[in-house]
Structure 1
Amino acid sequence: MRFLSRRLPITRSIESGAFFIKKDGLRFATPLLVVLMVETTDVVFAADSIPAILAITCNTFVVFTSSVFALLGLWALHFALASLLQLFHYLHYGLALNLVFIGGKTLLEHVLPLSMPLSLGIVGAILLLSMVASLLWPKQE
C-alpha cells in the first residue's frame, strides 16, 4: 500500500465499492484497486505453476484442483516459505534444484518417462536433503 501510494493517490477508506473515485475534482484510487492488483498476481503465479503440475501428472482433475489450491493458498505458502528460508538457509538451493529437475523432466518426458511416485520422491528428497544440510552445517553469523 505504501509503495503504490507513492505513485498513485489512494484513499485510506473503501468508498462506494469502486476502484476509483473523484474527490475535490481529483481522481483517487481506492484500496479495492490495490486488492485487485494483488489478486491478479496470485492468478499469474497460479498459471505459472501449471507446467510444474504437468511435469508430475497429466490428469486434468489434479491439474485443475492444484491450480485452484495454488490460488487459495499462495500467500500463506509465501509467508511459510519465507520463514522456512530463514530457518533452513540451504532450502533456496533445494527449491532451485527442484525447478531444474521439473523443467528437465518436462523437456525429456518423451525420452525418459518417470512415474509420478518417483518424481514426487525426487522432489521430496531434494527438499529433505537441503533442510538436513542446513541443520548439519549451520549458517555462520
Structure 2
Amino acid sequence: MSSPDNSTVEAAGCVLWRRSPIDGELELCLVHRPKYDDWSHPKGKLKRGEDPLTGALREVTEETGYLAVTGAQLPTLRYLANGRPKRVRYWAAEATEGGFTPNTEVDRILWLPPTAARNRLTQPRDRTLVTSLLASLHLT
C-alpha cells in the first residue's frame, strides 16, 4: 500500500549530553549509522500517533542504550529526505543511566566535548543544535 505522497515525515530526537565521568566536563553523544556512514544526534521516525517527546526518548534509548531526562525544546529542523519533506523535533536530554550495545542501526557512539561534536557531525544543519544546547544549559 505505497503511495507517492509528499506528506511530511515526522521524526524526533535529542541532543544527548552528560558530565564526563573523568573530568566533569560536558560531553555530547553522537551516533554512527552504518547505513548512511554518518554521525548524527540520536533521532528517528515517529510511530503512528506517537507523541514527539515520547518518540525522541524512545529513539535515544534504542540508538544509544541510555535513559534520559529531557530539558529544553531545541530548534526543529526541516529538510528533504529521499524527496520528501522531513520535520525533526529535538530536545536537550541528559543521559541518566544505561550503556551502549552496537546494533544494526547504530554501530558506534562517541561522547565528545561540544566543539569536537560539532566538528564530527556529518550534516551542517545538525551543528546548530550544539549551539542551541549550550544556550539552553546557559554555557554560551
Report the TM range for the smaller structure's normalisation. under 0.3
Between Structure 1 and Structure 2, which shows a larger proportion of helix residues? Answer: 1
- Which of structures 1 and 2 has the bigger CA Rg? 1
Between Structure 1 and Structure 2, which shows a larger proportion of strand residues? Answer: 2
Q: Which has the higher contact order (CA 8 A, sep 6+)?
A: 2
TM-score in terms of structure 1 length: 0.24
TM-score in terms of structure 2 length: 0.24
